[in-house]
Chains A and B, each alone.
Chain A
Amino acid sequence: MPVNLVSEDELRAALRPHRVNPDTFEAGVRARLEAAQTQQTAEPLARLSPFLRSAAAFLPLEVLAGCQAVPAAAKLAPVGGAYKLLSYLAFPAISLFMLLGATIFSVVKIRSIREKSDLGLDDQQAMYEATRQWWRRHKWGAGVVFAGILTLSVVGATWLLFLFYIVSFGLLLYVLATFAKLGLGNRQIIGRSCLLGLMFLGQVSMISGIGNREIHFLDQMLVAAVFLGGVLALLPFAISSSPLAGIYKSRTAQRNAAFSQWLAAGFMVLLAVPLMALLMHPVLWPATPLRVKRYVESFDQAPQETVSWQHWEVAARWVIDAKLDPDLSNPRRLLAEVISGEQNRYILSSALRVGLLPADQVGQLREYEELRRSLVAAPPGVKPQVITSLAQFDWVIRAAVLRNDLSPQERDLLEKRLHATLENMSNDQYVVLETALRVTQLLDVIERPIDRDQHRAQVQDWLRKFHTTNTGGFRFAGGFKDHLAWPAGVWFAQPGSLEATATGVELMEIYGIPDQLDLNWVRSFLRPSAYRFSDEKWVAAATLDRLNHLPGVTRPTWLEMLYYERTLLAAAVLVGLCIYATLSSPKLRASQSDSQDFPAGRAG
C-alpha cells in the first residue's frame, strides 16, 4: 500500500514567506559583531551580569589587569539589592587572596625596581597606588574580615570559617574566570595571590589551635599541612611571576635573578617540607602496636621520673593485655637503678602493677615492712581508716600479696579500709579518679573482689562528673580531668589530662560506659596529634585502643567521620579551588608580560 505523504514542494512553499535574504542576514550578524567588539574594547565589563559588575566594584581591577582596566573600572556603575549582597560574600576571599598578594608583591617590586633602575616604576607605582586606594576605600570591610578570621579561629569555629571561605572563594572563582575570558588577570597573578592566601591560612591554622574545642578523629594540624601542600603546589607559578623577574635587562643579571628565585623557592621547600612532615607526623608515623611494643621494650630512661614511669606503665599494661609478649629486660634494669636509689613509691607502684618486680626482690624495698605494718594495724574498737594517698601504698599491698605476707584477717581489714577509701571519695574535695581504679584493682589483688553491680552507678556518676569538654594548654576537649574542682583562685577552666583519661577508660572497662557520655569526645581527646611527642603519643594510642575495644562500643561510621572532619575537607576543597583557579586562568601573554615586567619567555 503506497504511503501518502505531503510533498516536499508544498512544505517549501508553505515556509517560503519566512525565508530571509542571506546577505541582509549576514550583514546583521556582522553589524552585531562589530558593535560587540567596539563595546568590548571600550568597556570590557559593560556586558557583565549585575553580580559580576557588583563584584568587580570590589575587585582591585588595576592589580588584576596590570593597570589596563582602569578606564573600564572607572565606568562601572554600582548595582544594588541582592546582587550587591551577593558580591559582599566574595569580599573575604577577595581581600585575603587578591589583595594580600597584590600589596606584598607591589611593595617588593617597587623596592627592587628602585634599587636597580627607574624603568617600569610608573606602572608599578600606579598599581601600588591602586592597591592603597583600595585599602583606603575598603579598610573597614577588610579589617572586619581579618578580625573575623582570627576570631573564628581562636574560638574554634574553624568549620564555619572555612565554609565561609569556600562559598566566598567559589564566588571569586566565578568572577575571576569571567574576567579571565575578558583578558583581565592571568595564571601568574591568580597563582601568587592564592599562594599567599593559603600561606596566611596555613599560619593561622598552625598558631590558633584549631579544632581543640570540637570533636575530631584526625589531628587538625593536618589542616595546616593541607594549606602548606597547596602552597608548594602553587610555588612554580609564584617563581615564574616573582617580582624579581624581568627587572634585570642583561643576560647575566637575568641568570642571577633566576638563581635568586630558585634559591628562594628552594628555601621555601626546605622550610615547608619538614614542617609538613612534622604536622603530618601522626599520619606518616602512626602509633602501631609494633611501635608501642618497641617503646615499652626500649624504656631504659625515665627523664621525668614518676611521670615517665606512669606513662610507660599505661603502654606496658596495654602491650601485655594485647598479648604482644614484650621483652622487659630494659625496664627491669631501670627498676634496679630505682631500687638501689631513692626507691620512689609511685615508681614502685607502677613497676609492681606491670609485674616487673619478682617476689624475691621485695626484701630490697626499704620501707616495705614498716608501711605494710601501718596498713594492717587495727587498734581495737576503731573503725577501719581511709587509706590516704592510696597511690603511694599501692605497691606495698601488691608486694605483700606477692610474698604472701597477708593473713586472711589482714586481707579482711585491708578490704574494709579500701571500701572506706572508696566511700570517702564522695566527701573528698580533692578526690582523683585514680582512687576508684586503684581500690578496684587492689581488692582484686587481695582476692576480695568488689561487687561491681553495687558500685556501678556511683562510679559511672563520677566518670560523668570528671569528664570535661574544657580545653587549655594545648589539650583537646573531651578528656577526663584530674580533679573534680580546681583550687580556689584559679580562674581558668580545668582541661582534661591524659593520665586521668587513661584511668577513666580503664574504669569504663570495669564498670561500663555511663549514659550520656559521648565516647566520640573521648576519642577526640585521644586522637593522634602532632603536639604529642614521645611517651604521650604511645599512652594516647594505647588508651584509644582500649576505648575502641570496650564492650558494646561501635566505631564511628564513615558519615560520622566525614561530618567530624569537615574542617579538613573544607580546607582540601579550598586548596583544590585555589589550584583550579590558577590552572584554569589564562597563561600570561607577551603583551601582558611587557606591561607587568615579566619576561615573555618565562611567561609561557
Chain B
Amino acid sequence: MDLTAFVNAYRGPLIGLLASWGAPWDDAIEIAQDSFSEAWLHRESCGGDWNEPDVFGRWLRGVALNQYRNWARSRWRRRARTVTLAPAILEQAAGATDPEPDEDLESLRQAIERLPTKQRQVVLMHYLEETSVNEVARLLAVSAKTVEGRLYQARQTLRRLLGESLSAAAIGRMLLCL
C-alpha cells in the first residue's frame, strides 16, 4: 500500500478519533496530518509488516496518541499549530460554516457530544467520512462486530437524548408522517 491509500483508508476515522479524545476539529486535522507523517516516516519501526492494515492501524493509533498527548501537554504548541494552519484548510473551515444553521442538526451534534465515550468515538470515526467499520475497528483494536454494536447503541442513545429535547419542528414533522 502507498501513502495515498493509507491516508484515504484512515483519514476519517483518525480525525474522528482525535476529536473524540477532545481535540477541537481544526486541531484534530492538524494532529492527524502530523500522525500520518510520523507513522509513515518511522513505519519500519512498527514491529511487524506495516503493509498489513491491522499492523499499520495499530501503529498509527499509537503515534496519534503520542501526538495528541504532546498537543495536550503544551498549549503553546497547539496555538502555534492553529496559527500555521494551511490557508486551504482555513478556507474550508470557513466554508463549512452553515449560513442557516439547521436546528435539528445542531441538536444532534449536541447530543453526539453527550454520548458515552465509546459510542461517541465510533460515531465520529464512522460517520465523518462514511468509512468502513473495518478501518474503525483496526484503529480501535477491536472487532468489526464490536464497532457495529457500539454504533447501534449510539444511535439508540442519540434517539433517546433527542427525545428528551425534541424541538417543535421535529414534533411537527413526526405528526405529518403520521
Q: Which residues of A contact B (CB under 8 A)?
A: 3-6, 8, 10-22, 24-30, 32-33, 36-37, 181
Contacts and interface: CB of A to CB of B under 8 A. Distances in A.
A32 B108 contact: no
Q: Which of A3, A6, A27 has the most CB of B within 10 A?
A: A6
B155 interface: yes
Contacts of B63: none
A183 to B, nearest CB: 12
A396 B159 CA distance: 110
Given A18-B128, A28-B86, 8 more contacts: A11-B112, A13-B102, A15-B109, A19-B12, A19-B128, A25-B7, A30-B3, A36-B37
A157 B159 CA distance: 71
A10 B7 contact: no
A4 B156 CA distance: 7
5 contacts: A6-B155, A26-B7, A32-B33, A33-B3, A36-B38
Interface residues of B, number: 46
Given A12-B127, A18-B19, A30-B3, A25 B29 contact: yes
B168 interface: no
B41 A37 contact: yes
A29 B39 CA distance: 11
B158 A21 contact: no
B92 A21 contact: yes
A21 B88 contact: yes
A14 B86 contact: no
Q: Which of A12, A21, A32 has the most CB of B within 10 A?
A: A32
Nearest to B123: A11
Nearest to B96: A17
Interface in B5-36: 7-8, 11-12, 15-16, 19, 25, 29, 32-34, 36
Contacts of B52: none
Given A20-B15, A37-B41, A26 B4 contact: yes
A158 B37 CA distance: 47
Nearest to B37: A32
B124 interface: yes
Contacts of B45: 181
B97 interface: yes
A14 B108 contact: yes
Contacts of A29: 3, 7, 33, 36-37, 40
Nearest to A34: B37
Contacts of B32: 25
